[in-house]
Amino acid sequence: MSDYDFDLFVIGAGSGGVRASRVAAAHGAKVAVAEEYRVGGTCVIRGCVPKKLLVYGAHFAEDLKDARRFGWNVPDCGFEWTTLRDNVLADVDRLEGLYRNTLDNHKVELIPERATITGPHGVRLASGREVSAKYILVSTGAWPIVPDIEGAEHGVTSNEVFHLDECPKRIVIVGGGYIANEFAGIFHQFGSHVTMVNRSGTLLRGYDAQIRDRLLQISTMKGINFRFNAEMEKIEKKEDGTLTVRFKSGDPIACDLLLFATGRRPHVEGLGLENAGVELSDKGAIKVDDYSRTSCESIYAVGDVTDRMQLTPVAIREGHAFADTLFGDNPRTVDYACVPSAVFSHPPLAGVGMTEAEARNKLGTVKIYTSDFRPMKNVLAGRDERALYKMVVDATTDRVVGLHMIGPDAPEILQAAAIAVKAGLTKQAFDDTVALHPSMAEELVLLK
């Protein structure tokens, strides 16, 4: 018999925490998970899932227009935000139910309360109940950062944006990263006047420069406005509820909604980490080793709270590896090389491996192959939007070290192609593969 109430106590039922709980329980551990809000975490409740559904909803704006060129008599269509919002939120409820079932089926005790660490093996729940566990896993995710400027409280973050009462006529989106670009596309398609405000001159730092430039070009062409190198001074709210965003230099911008998409910081406040000597990095993330173990032997952490890669599939892998290591007699770590990622902008972009700049820095001699083309569907639709695929090849070994693309369905295509890059295949291997015609993906095996 264990001396503890639980073998594993998990704090936070998001992607990483739920995976770790259910796998540990399947290995025979007695597991509890505390969650102060809803089961599913950022991805399911206020991130990837509802966002992707909004992206689908937004795409109809162009699809309905394009359909006319394909012979369909589409009347002028109106868009009702509240219908989409409610359907999306209902689907989130459905998914949350599935997550709860998963925990239930694996006999994981779900405790709907906030938990605070009291020591290496101790946790206190909001109700005052004290529990002990052989191991504690922190998987509390991250939380949106709101810049420290006057009037910032008048803005919203991705936490609130799914619940709006109405679709804003004019929206200002602060930031130039994932969330900013995804919501710029979404609201633009819904008919909002969108202005993106960025403190630097660069969007989506980390992605290949040519692909980023293409997104900027297409976004501008569609009518999204950009204010680069802009330093905000304050946000004022008028009596009619509208906002004015003032800058240190340049004209103010009036809007109905201000969305901060300025990064996310590890969610560690009030967790009691100091009671167990759990160390944080300079950026406030929980420091962990390759096995997700913190500076306290019995406490582990996975997912965004460790700020390794803020991506759902990575958190899931970390949670799974953790559970296998501790409870499955199968010590293993996560391989962070060649993790594909995508931005569900309009059009979407995706990438895996090294960008051209990274490859030039690391490898010296590289070969770059690009295909800059107008997808067949866009041609008939009269849509002047070009896709761009880019392959980065190590000139010495012929190995494909990076693949980057922007265009319709880029994330779907890249997920499959990422297997080849991860497997270390050569450009010749791509060339040896017969094209699947007519498709957009065939460009990948026809690069000259």
Binding interface with ligand NDP (CB under 6 A): 147, 174-180, 182, 198-200, 202, 205, 261-264, 310-311, 341-344
119, 286, 322 from 327: Cα distances, Å: 21, 22, 8
Task: Confirm or deny that 37 is annotated as ligand binding.
Answer: no
Asked whether residue 300 is marked as a ligand-binding residue, the answer is: no
Please state the separation of Cα 238 from the chain's center in Å: 33
Task: Please identify the residue of the shown chain whose CB is closest to the bound ligand NDP.
Answer: 177
Nearest 10 degrees: Cα torsion 72, 372, 216, 85 = 40
Tell me if 178 is assigned to a ligand binding site.
Answer: yes
Among 103, 95, 97, 111, which Cα is nearest to 43's?
95
Q: Is 437 a catalytic residue?
A: yes
How far apart are CB 113 and ligand NDP at their closest, in Å? Answer: 26
Which of residues 31 and 180 has its CB atom nearest to ligand NDP in the complex?
A: 180
Which of 121, 188, 267, 437 is the catalytic position?
Answer: 437
Has 105 been labeled as part of a binding site? no
Residue 147 Cβ vs ligand NDP, minimum distance, rounded to whole Å: 4
Residue 177 in marked binding region = yes
Q: Which is nearer to ligand NDP, 182 or 394 (CB)?
A: 182
Residue 4 vs 247, nearer CB to ligand NDP = 247
Q: Is the CB of 125 or the CB of 309 nearer to ligand NDP? A: 309
Give the residue carrying structure tokens 């970390």.
318
State the DSSP code for 303.
G
Helix axes 15-26, 312-327, angle to 10 degrees: 30
**Shortest Cβ 199–ligand NDP spacing (Å):** 4
Q: Which is nearer to ligand NDP, 123 or 311 (CB)?
A: 311
* C-beta separation of 35 from 12 below 8 A: yes
Q: How far is the CB of 403 from ligand NDP (least distance, A)?
A: 16
Closest listed residue to residue 51, CA positions, set 59, 228, 156, 415:
59
The distance of closest approach from Cβ of residue 70 to ligand NDP in the complex, given in angstroms and rounded to an integer, is 29
Task: Please give the structure tokens belonging to residue 90.
Answer: 């209902």
Indicate the residue among 262 and 371 with the shorter CB distance to ligand NDP.
Answer: 262
Q: Is 108 helix (H, G, I), strand (E, B) or coil?
A: coil
DSSP-derived secondary structure for 61-74: HHHHHHHHHTT--P
Alpha helices in 291-334 (DSSP H): 312-327
**Is 206 among the annotated ligand-binding positions?**
no
A 10 A CB-CB count for 356 gives 20
Q: Is 180 annotated as a binding residue?
A: yes
CB of 150 to ligand NDP, least distance (A): 14
Enumerate residues 6+ apart whose C-beta is below 8 A from 9: 31, 32, 33, 34, 115, 123, 131, 133, 135, 136, 137
Return the structure tokens found at 226.
């950009």
Annotate 73-103 with DSSP letters as a single string: -PPP----HHHHHHHHHHHHHHHHHHHHHHH
Active site residues: 437
Which residues carry a binding-site annotation for FAD?
Answer: 52, 304
Which residues carry a binding-site annotation for NAD(+)?
Answer: 175-182, 263
